[in-house]
């Protein structure tokens, strides 16, 4: 039987004016935004609607903003329930609201703690990320391992976005050397990204510790459907396992390619992205091909 998969984007999908159309069209969304302003202690809605690109790029703003936009988009759809959910990195928190594991207020609190902890970890360890195009997963993994052995510094695959599109994460020196090696191996591109830290790598260990304490003290409910989590790329329904995987996600890779492949294998035929942008719609198309329908609500 055909199944509906709801998917939620991560950091990088933000833009000035995000969510304003939903805010103006739905009383429930307006109430949600006002609740978020109150909980966060500042007007995130004002920053989302009127903020500069630079303001929206700050991790402590970006993450709650994308989360809020995604949940708002999901709430505008009535009478349709997902058969499965997944989120890319930060998007996993939105997915856990959609499948009933987390209350909106608790998820927003965790997202805010996560963003601030990641910002601090970035300041502790000067580090970055790079996009690698047109190499196989194994080639990227092998080069990262080789550079780590040579330098004694961190460089790891961080995002398996779709076949031939990976993001690596690590120290400035190791990333630079890895990019040279990737190009030598035939990468179409190995480009350092304008980010301030090595997300989804061991360099996020301090942030992981802080987030783990907050997650452990938060109530996780029984879900209405499975979440396909980044760190394990398979269906998970046990709240304790969901907690553990959400903690591991901060220092582990986002296995998006593998998650989508598993969702399709488990019967997903319709993928709907909720939130800003269309990045995940494009990735699902590249991963799953023409056998699935892809749409978005933003």
pLDDT tens, 9-45? 998 889 999 999 999 999 999 999 999 999 999 999 9
Determine the pLDDT at residue 65: 97
pTM: 0.96
pLDDT exceeds 80 at position 228: yes
Domain 126-192 -> CATH class: alpha beta
Choose the catalytic residue: 200, 201, 231, 259. Answer: 200
pLDDT exceeds 80 at position 287: yes
Determine the pLDDT at residue 104: 98
Determine the pLDDT at residue 78: 83
The CATH number that domain 3-122+202-297 falls under is 3.40.366.10
Domain extents in the chain: 3-122+202-297, 126-192
Provide the percentage of residues in the chain whose pLDDT is more than 90: 91
Determine the pLDDT at residue 1: 73
Question: Tens digits of per-residue pLDDT, 65-93?
Answer: 999 999 999 999 988 899 999 999 999 99
Determine the pLDDT at residue 291: 86
Question: Tens digits of per-residue pLDDT, 95-147?
Answer: 999 999 999 999 999 999 999 999 999 998 889 999 999 999 999 999 999 99
Measured CA to CA, the distance from residue 180 to residue 187 in angstroms comes to 10
Dihedral, 240, 242, 248, 252 alpha carbons, nearest 10: 150
Contact call for residues 204 and 229 (beta carbons, < 8 A): no
Q: Considering the chain, what is the average pLDDT of its residues?
A: 96
Choose the catalytic residue: 45, 89, 127, 171. Answer: 89
200 is catalytic: yes
Question: Tens digits of per-residue pLDDT, 253-268?
Answer: 999 999 999 999 999 9
pLDDT exceeds 90 at position 224: yes
pLDDT exceeds 90 at position 214: yes
pLDDT exceeds 90 at position 194: no
89 is catalytic: yes
């Amino acid at each position: 039987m055909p199944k509906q998969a709801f998917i939620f984007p991560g950091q990088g999908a933000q833009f000035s004016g995000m969510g304003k159309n939903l805010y103006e069209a739905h009383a429930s969304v307006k109430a949600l935004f006002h609740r978020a302003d109150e909980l966060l202690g500042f007007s995130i809605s004002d920053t989302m609607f009127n903020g500069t690109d630079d303001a929206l790029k700050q991790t402590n703003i970006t993450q709650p903003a994308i989360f809020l936009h995604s949940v708002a988009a999901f709430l505008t759809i009535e009478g349709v329930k997902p058969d499965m959910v997944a989120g890319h990195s930060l998007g996993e928190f939105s997915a856990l609201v959609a499948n009933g594991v987390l209350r909106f207020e608790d998820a927003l609190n965790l997202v805010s703690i996560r963003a601030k902890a990641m910002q601090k970890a970035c300041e502790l360890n000067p580090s970055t990320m790079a996009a690698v195009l047109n190499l196989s997963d194994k080639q990227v993994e092998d080069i990262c391992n080789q550079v780590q052995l040579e330098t004694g510094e961190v460089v790891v695959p961080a995002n398996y976005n779709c076949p031939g599109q990976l993001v690596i994460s690590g120290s400035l020196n190791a990333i630079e050397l890895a990019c040279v090696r990737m190009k030598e191996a035939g990468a179409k591109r190995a480009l350092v990204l304008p980010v301030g830290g090595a997300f989804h790598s061991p360099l996020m260990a301090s942030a992981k510790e802080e987030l783990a304490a907050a997650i452990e003290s938060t109530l996780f409910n029984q879900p209405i459907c499975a979440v396909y989590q980044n760190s394990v790329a398979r269906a998970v329904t046990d709240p304790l396992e969901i907690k553990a995987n959400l903690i591991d996600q901060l220092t582990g890779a986002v296995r998006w390619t593998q998650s989508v492949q598993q969702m399709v294998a488990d019967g997903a035929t319709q993928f709907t992205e909720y939130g800003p942008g269309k990045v995940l719609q494009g990735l699902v198309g590249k991963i799953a091909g023409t056998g699935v329908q892809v749409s978005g609500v933003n």
